[in-house]
Chains A and B, each alone.
Chain A
Amino acid sequence: MVATVSVSDNHLRSQIFDLLCQVPDPEIPVVNIVELGIVRDVLADPQQVIITPTYTGCPATHFITQMIREKLDENGFDKMEIKNQLSPAWTTDWITPEAKVKLKAYGIDPPAMSADKHAQACCPRCNSTNTKLISEFGSTPCKALYSCKDCLEPFDRFKCH
C-alpha cells in the first residue's frame, strides 16, 4: 500500500496532520486531538480524516468533530470527509509521551500504560505516590478523582482505559 502513496499525497497528509494538531481537546485544552490518539489516520484518496471516540457517550466527541470540520473548511479542505471508526477501540496507550508530560504540568496525573495499569497514582504537584482514590468517576468520563496524602491536594487522574 505504501508504494502507491505519491509524494503529493504525503504532503497533503502532513499538511492535514499539522492542522489537526491545532485542534485542542475541548475539556483539556493543553493537549491536542492528534497527541490524544483521537485522530487515527488521514487518507489522501478518498480524502478522509479518521477519528475514534474516547468513550461512547463522551459529549466532547460531537464538539471535536465540529472543530475539525471548521479547521478543515477554514483552510480550504472542505472536500475532506471526517469518518468515525470504532474498532480498534481507543486506548490511553495511544496518548503520546509528550502529551503525558503536558497533562502532568496541567495538574492531571497521566494514565499509566495498560500493561502497568495497577501503578499507584502520582500527585502531579509534589510527585508523591502516597495517594488515595476518592472517586473512581470524576468530572469527565476519562478521569478519576484522587487526593495526595502528603501535600493534601486533590487531583484528577486520567484513567488507564
Chain B
Amino acid sequence: MATMHNPTTPQTAYILRLADNALILGQRLAEMCGHAPEMELDMALTNFSLDLIGQASLLYEHVLEREDLAPNVDALAMTRNLEEYRNCLLVAQPNANFAHIILRQYLFSTFQKYQYQALLGSNDKKLAAIAEKSLKEISYHIRFAQSWVLRLGDGTEESHEYMEDALECLWRYTGELFEKDEILAAVIDSGLSGDYTQEYKTWEAEVTAILSEAGGLTPPETLRMLVGGHAGKHDENLGHILKDLQYMQLKYPGLQW
C-alpha cells in the first residue's frame, strides 16, 4: 500500500477536510445513479456528484502541491484509513429516501456557500480560485435542493411526513458544519479563510425560513449536536461508503482509469 502521511499544517489539514466533504457527498450521490425516483432526478443527482468529485479532485491536487502526503491524488483520495478522512458526519449520512437526500443536499450546499465565500479572499490564491469556480456550481445545487424541500414539505401529507422525518434525523449534524475547532481557528488566523462561523445565525435564519415556508417544517429541539467527523471520529456510515469507494484502488493499487 502507498505510503501516506498526515498533514503537518492546519492549512493542509483544512483543505483536506474540504476535499473529503466533497468526495464523500459526491460518492453518496453517485450511489443514486440509476436509482432516483425519476430520470430527471437521476440526472440532477449524478450531475451534483460530478461537480462535487470535480471539486474534490482540484482540492486533493492542491493538497499535494502544498504537502507531499501521498504519491498521487488517487492514493490520497482512495487509500487512507477510515479515521484519516476528515469530512463532516452529515455528508456520509445514507440515502435513506429521496427526502433525506434532498434535505442533506440543501443543508450542506447552503453551508458550503458560506464556507467557500470565506475562501474568496484567501491568501492562498489557488484555493480562492477553486472556491470561485465551485460557487457557481453550488448555486445550482442550492436552487434545485431548495425547490424540492419546498415541494415535498408543502406537498402531500405523506411527502410532508417524509421531510419531517428527514429533518428530525439530519438536523443534529448541522452543528458540526460551523464548528470552530483548533484547525479552523488556526486557518482563520493565518488568513487562509475568513471566519464563516460568525455566519451561523444568518445561515440558520435562511434555512429555517425556507423550512417554515415548506408547509411549516421546524427543526427539532436538539440538546446536543453530533460532531466528530472533523477529528476522524466517524459513525458507521463512512465505513460503508469506503468499502465501495476504496475497493478498486486497494484491490489493484495504482490502478488508472
B133 at interface (Cβ–Cβ under 8 A)? yes
Residues 43-85 of B contacting A (Cβ, < 8 Å): 43-44, 47, 49-55, 57-58
Q: Which residues of A contact B132 (CB under 8 A)?
A: 86-89
Residues 80-119 of A contacting B (Cβ, < 8 Å): 85-90
Q: Which residues of B contact A161 (CB under 8 A)?
A: 136
The proximity string for A residues 54-90 relative to B, scoring 1 for CB distances below 8 Å and 0 otherwise, is 0111110000000000000000000000000111111
**Number of B residues, CB within 8 Å of A:** 27
Q: Which residue of B lies closest to A91 (CB)?
A: B136
Q: How far is the CA of A88 from the CA of B128 in the complex (A)?
A: 10
Q: How far is the CA of A137 from the CA of B140 in the complex (A)?
A: 10
Q: How far is the CA of A59 from the CA of B53 in the complex (A)?
A: 11
A10 at interface (Cβ–Cβ under 8 A)? no
A56 touches B43 (CB 8 A): no
Residues 9-62 of A contacting B (Cβ, < 8 Å): 53, 55-59
Q: Which residues of B contact A141 (CB under 8 A)?
A: 47, 50-51
A: contact size bracket: 20 to 34
Q: Which residues of B contact A87 (CB under 8 A)?
A: 125, 128-129, 132-133
Known: A86-B129, A86-B130, A86-B132. A137 touches B43 (CB 8 A): yes
Q: Which residues of B contact A55 (CB under 8 A)?
A: 50-51, 54, 137
Q: Chain A binding site: helix, strand, loop or mixed by DSSP?
A: loop
| Residue ranges of A at the interface with B (Cβ–Cβ < 8 Å) | 53, 55-59, 85-90, 134-139, 141, 145, 161
Q: Which among A56, A59, A138 is the interface contact of B134 at CB below 8 angstroms?
A: A56
Q: Which residue of B lies closest to A52 (CB)?
A: B133
Q: Which residues of A contact B57 (CB under 8 A)?
A: 56-57
B203 at interface (Cβ–Cβ under 8 A)? no
Q: Which residues of A contact B136 (CB under 8 A)?
A: 89, 161
A58 touches B54 (CB 8 A): yes
Q: How far is the CA of A134 from the CA of B38 in the complex (A)?
A: 12
Q: How far is the CA of A160 from the CA of B55 in the complex (A)?
A: 20
The CB with the most chain A CB atoms within 10 A, among B47, B49, B57, B128, is that of B47
Q: Which residues of A contact B47 (CB under 8 A)?
A: 137, 141
- Distance to closest chain A CB from B26 (angstroms): 8
Q: List 30 A-B contacts (CB under 8 A).
A: A55-B137, A56-B51, A56-B58, A56-B134, A57-B49, A57-B52, A57-B57, A58-B50, A59-B50, A85-B129, A86-B126, A87-B128, A87-B132, A87-B133, A89-B132, A90-B133, A134-B40, A135-B40, A135-B43, A136-B44, A136-B144, A137-B40, A137-B44, A137-B47, A137-B144, A139-B43, A141-B50, A141-B51, A145-B40, A161-B136
